[in-house]
Homo-oligomer: A and B are copies of this chain.
């Protein structure tokens, strides 16, 4: 563990999340809405998936945190996303940008650049997406990544400095940086890459942790740690990605301080 974040800090944040049941607004892609909402309920948050113009901005004002995931950005949702990001930024509330497949595809790339104007609290993506968003690479071939997390650290640092954001890069080891410090979380299981929304739902959980934690870097790393430790616990009795995804929801609901203390690997 590090000076910035102890296992006890992670446990305390999770405890605070479960006690306060933050309302997390999600404007996300059509593939993962259901899984994302169930992940939020399991961890102890209340999901609200409102993503239409007029309502999205109003909900962002009420919500404890907002997620904007550009995975399937239909025209109406794009307007709602700008609204929500603007409202979250204006009130000083936390919001997370997940730049799915940015770089590879033009509509979402332009949208993500526009969204950056509202200074996302956290940007969470894979290495290809983070590099493309920073203008450091051409992007991957969609949701999978062709770059290593470590190789996107320069791009992440650049994004952090330019937009005042904390940046999380998913990979075998997840990196989280605020542009100064870098935390590396080495928990997780490969099954998580075989469940659609495995990354997207972490964006929502990160938003939930930001709702209860003032230190952005610590909250983001805590979300990643709890999420990926739950994946390890779920994998123990899973027979494949189907049973894993179900056990993962159970694990998020049941995970306790002892399991976090014994398994967490943050450096």
Contact = CB atoms under 8 A, between A and B. Distances in A.
A104 B33 CA distance: 21
Interface string A35-53: 1011001100011111110
Nearest to A80: B74
Residue in A74, A141, A196 whose Cβ sees the most chain B Cβ within 10 Å: A196
A197 interface: yes
Contact of A42 (B72, B106, B141, B242): B242
Nearest to A242: B249
A34 B37 contact: no
A59 interface: yes
Contact of A196 (B29, B34, B108): B34
Contact of A241 (B141, B240, B249): B249
Contacts of A42: 194, 240-242
Given A34-B32, A107-B54, A46 B143 contact: yes
Contact of A246 (B47, B59, B246): B246
A7 to B, nearest CB: 23
A200 to B, nearest CB: 11
What interface size band does chain A fall in?
Answer: 35 or more
A215 interface: no
A246 B101 CA distance: 28
A245 interface: yes
Interface string A63-87: 0000000011111100000000000
A76 B52 CA distance: 11
A129 to B, nearest CB: 14
Contact of A75 (B29, B52, B248): B52
Interface stretch (A10-18, A148-156, A218-226, A250-258): A250-258
B38 A241 contact: yes
A54 B74 CA distance: 11
Contacts of A242: 38, 42, 245-250, 253
Contacts of A19: none
A267 interface: no
A8 interface: no
Nearest to A239: B250
A164 interface: no
Contacts of A143: 46-48
A101 B48 contact: yes
5 contacts: A23-B142, A31-B47, A52-B73, A54-B106, A58-B105
